[in-house]
Amino acid sequence: MGKKRVLSGIQPSGRLHIGNLVGALQNWVKLQDSYDCYYFIADWHALTSQYADTSRLKDYVKDVLVNCLAAGLDPEKTTIFAQSRVIEHAELHVLLSMVTPLSWLERVPTYKEKQTEVKDKDLNTYGFLGYPLLQSADILMYRAHYVPVGVDQMPHLEITREIGRRFNHFYGEVFPDPEGLLTEFPKVVGTDGRKMSKTYDNCIFLSDTPAEVEKKIRTMTTDPQRIKRTDKGDPDLSPVYHLHKIFSSKEEQGEVAEGCRTAGIGCIDCKKVLIKNLFEVLEPLWERRRHYLDRPDELEDIIESGSAKARTAAAATMQLVRKAIGLDRLR
Ligand code: TRP
């Protein structure tokens, strides 16, 4: 029996950080042995909000690709591609747009939220309204069974299922219902204790040098009430402890928590443990990053051969779609 198909995408809208690593990439890597995985760089999605300045787009696409490979995605097992290199996504998007009620797009929570939240960009565009529909095309195109994403993406999955069903209702069974695979990790906090996000300038980037990572941890906020070394602290109020829970062993978590509560250790000691553990995760990744960054031709070959495989899969779906609608050959 063939493996079930998994599909997910990531936007090249900035450099990837350790939140993307534990929230998405590590999970993608875990799935690659058990499923037929398609992972892609959603460059058109990045354009829906970053259309006015594309000067860094290519750098970000490269950063995503390098980090996917550095995190352990294996192009021999997994199809890694760029959305814009599989133009079938645009065709499916336009065909799905015919059956998509405007109100369905307008009521997607991220639509209004982002429009009010993002002040420095004009998101009153056709492309931005169509964001979830483009995502539906991405997912339905590969007739994916599972879509690993964070909770924030669940509304997009919901509308994908609704659109798939509506298509099937008009034209016959073409698309299976995709299911979300919720990523188990909570949001990773940034160096200031808020959610790690490029808009808050609190990220530890996968492209940071070891010295930069170390400095960011050393200057990170801790329990704000623990001012002097002799003050007792509450680990649960410290973003450093939050990162320990992700990167340190249970035993070390217990040790630093106890040391914090009793003022047995200082914040610098606690941070040193975190730095050691974080480096253990990042060092192999840094090494693979260097490998790929030194070989731009290899990167281009990987993304292009992945995109060629994706085009083959997409072309097969589009044949079914065109036939179902009546857009296939006259005879
Ligand atoms: N919207 C997703 C995000 O911001 C990225 C994305 C685009 C995606 N197309 C997708 C995720 C298809 C899963 C499947 O994270």
Q: Confirm or reject: Cβ of 183 under 6 Å from ligand 1.
A: no
Domain map (residue ranges) of the chain:
5-188+296-325, 208-290
Query: What atom of ligand 1 comes closest to residue 11's alpha carbon?
Result: 5
* CATH number attached to the domain at 208-290: 1.10.240.10
Which of 22-31, 113-122, 231-240, 274-283 comes out lowest in average pLDDT? 113-122
* Model confidence at 295: pLDDT above 90: yes
Average pLDDT over residues 298-327: 98
* CATH number attached to the domain at 5-188+296-325: 3.40.50.620
Q: Confirm or reject: Cβ of 208 under 6 Å from ligand 1.
A: no
Q: CA 20 to CA 15: how far, in whole Å? A: 10
Active site residue 228: no
Active site residue 245: no
pLDDT of residue 170: 98
pLDDT of residue 1: 64
* Model confidence at 186: pLDDT above 80: no
| Average pLDDT of the residues of the chain | 96
Q: Which of 25, 93, 156, 197 to mutate for ligand 1's pocket (most ligand atoms within 8 Å of CB)? A: 156
